[in-house]
Structure 1
Amino acid sequence: MKTRPISEIMTKQVHQIDINDPVINARNLMDKYEIHHLPVMENGNLIGMLSSNDLKQVQYLCDFIGERLEESTIFKSLSIEELMTENVQSLTTHATTAEAAQVFSNASFQSIPIMENDELVGIVTTKDVFAAFLTDN
């Protein structure tokens, strides 16, 4: 059902990263929880998103120059702010799966933070939206 609230399909336990954390912390979180998107927070405010694709770009560069990622001076010198996507589009818990699908259809990103009263309360991915459409039909 296209009018299904996004709150029904979103992930509610959202792992997030602080803008000042080392990039290796983001990679470790993604690996540990098998996730691909981390909201980036600063003083409790959402300021960006970091994806596994952002980290893969650094991995490709390290592979090209023949360095292990963890030992690479490039990797160690980068900040989350340099890698993240800024000006992130978000939705509220009142949005529908159809609204999320519309956002994804016009975007190059694969996740949307879900906000309520300026607080991060969830995250929805393209996979979540596709699964919702498949199970509703």
Structure 2
Amino acid sequence: MKTRSISEIMTKQVHFIDINDQVISARDLMDKYEIHHLPVLESGKLVGMISSNDLKQVQYLCDFIGERLEESTIFKSLSIEELMTENVHSLTSNATIKEAAQVFSHMSFQSLPILENDELVGIVTTKDVFAAFLEA
């Protein structure tokens, strides 16, 4: 297992969002493709990640104040930059599955963008790593 490359299990067709897009666009992309993590790019470079948990926090706030999410002034006024996680940990495609598992075991996030020369080339999730270990 330790010599298998992360490139064998990563998703190569990565859905992402631009930092200047609307938060509702992130929610729509996640719903459409049934995904939980979106890398955030600015001028083609990774600057953050936004997750379905980030969006759920906004949903809970809207529920608490009695507003529908899509009609909420809070939701409409939030930017991707305000909601995203910055300083995202990433790996390169030549990292091993074991290295990804070690990162996940020490951190609280569930996905890792995969970069080559600062370009987003993939994404791997805890689910991908777990499945790889079960295959072995």
Is the pair's TM-score, using the shorter chain for normalization, greater than 0.5?
Answer: yes
Match in the other structure for 1:111: 111
Match in the other structure for 2:81: 81
1:27 aligns with 2:24: no
Match in the other structure for 1:7: 7
State percent identity of aligned pairs: 85
Find runs of 4+ consecutive structure 1 residues off by over 2 angstroms: none
CA contact (8 A) 1:2 1:133 kept: no
Counterpart Cα distance in 2 of 1:112 and 1:31: 20
Name the amino acid aligned to 1:13. Q
Deviation at 1:2, TM superposition (A): 2.5
Deviation at 1:117, TM superposition (A): 1.3
Question: Structure 1: any 5+ residue segments left out of the alignment?
Answer: none
Residues 23-50 of structure 1, C-alpha deviations (whole Å, 9 max, x = no match): 0000000000000000000001000000
1:90 aligns with 2:95: no
Residues 7-64 of structure 1, C-alpha deviations (whole Å, 9 max, x = no match): 0000000000000000000000000000000000000100000000000000000011
Question: Structure 2: any 5+ residue segments left out of the alignment?
Answer: none
Counterpart Cα distance in 2 of 1:68 and 1:4: 46
Match in the other structure for 1:131: 131
Count of matched residue pairs: 136
Question: CA-atom RMSD, angstroms?
Answer: 0.5
What secondary structure sits across from 1:87 in the alignment?
coil
TM-score, scaled relative to structure 1: 0.98
Counterpart Cα distance in 1 of 2:25 and 2:97: 31
Residues 47-86 of structure 1, C-alpha deviations (whole Å, 9 max, x = no match): 0000000000000000111110000000000000011000
Counterpart Cα distance in 2 of 1:111 and 1:23: 19
Match in the other structure for 2:17: 17
